[in-house]
Amino acid sequence: MSPTAEPTVVFVPGLRDHVADHWQTLLAERLAQAGRAVRTVPPAEGNRLGLDVQVSNLAATLAPLEGPVLLVAHSAGVITTVHWAGRHRADVRGALLATPPDFETPLPDGYPTPAELADHGWTPVPRATLPFPSLVAASADDPLGAPERVAGLARSWGSRLVELGEVGHLNPASGYGEWTLAEELIRTLESDSASAPLAATPTGEQP
């Protein structure tokens, strides 16, 4: 395949089942309807909390694809992606990493504890520079990751930080649903302009 071929967009969800009104689901459907090559990493079978299961699931989704890919990860899918990047290689043209959780700080009630996350391999979270361009989309009021902690991850990964304002965890519980800025960020990665300044309004949309 030509090196200028349009990348397949691969969606990497967090630790969730299929959610019809999640922005990743809606965007994948819209891109596919527009004729774009799209894949979504399916929910893991077995021990879903196990990092190795999640990384293997991503690797299995990428293995049969020919040509370049562009990763669109959300929540724990971001942490899966950075662990995958330390173990595997593929022709990744870029990665949109939306609202990564801070697995090294206690999460709210109902989420895995730091000890559980460590036992399942998630921590320590890799701090190596990613071998592909990346954008970290960060929320100012994410209950799963304080802005300064997420900004620190972005710096470690060599990612551009896109500050979205108060968008919660960027999931249906926070009102997303549609997140149209994602398409613009994907285009930014594809145009290889990830070093240019980019800002977002408090709604997470471009001004």
182 vs 187: CA distance, rounded Å: 9
State residue 8's pLDDT score.
97
Provide the 3-class DSSP secondary structure of residue 136: strand
Amino acid at 127: R
Residues whose CB falls within 8 Å of the CB of residue 25, separated by 6 or more in sequence, listed in order: 18, 19, 40
Output the pLDDT for position 87: 96
CA–CA distances in Å: residue 18 to residues 11, 25, 26, 35, 201:
12, 8, 11, 22, 29
Q: Which helix (H) or strand (E) holds 161?
A: strand 160-163
pLDDT per residue rounded down to tens, the chain (207 residues): 444 589 999 999 999 888 999 999 999 999 999 999 999 999 988 788 999 999 999 999 999 999 999 999 999 999 999 999 999 999 999 999 999 999 999 999 999 999 999 999 999 999 999 999 999 999 999 999 999 999 999 999 999 999 999 999 999 999 889 999 999 999 999 986 444 444 443 334 432
Taking a C-beta distance cutoff of 8 angstroms, is the pair 108, 144 a contact?
yes
Label residue 46 left, alpha or beta by phi (over 0 means left) and psi (-120 to 50 means alpha): left
The answer to whether 108 and 169 are in contact (CB under 8 A) is: no
CA distance 188 to 196: 9
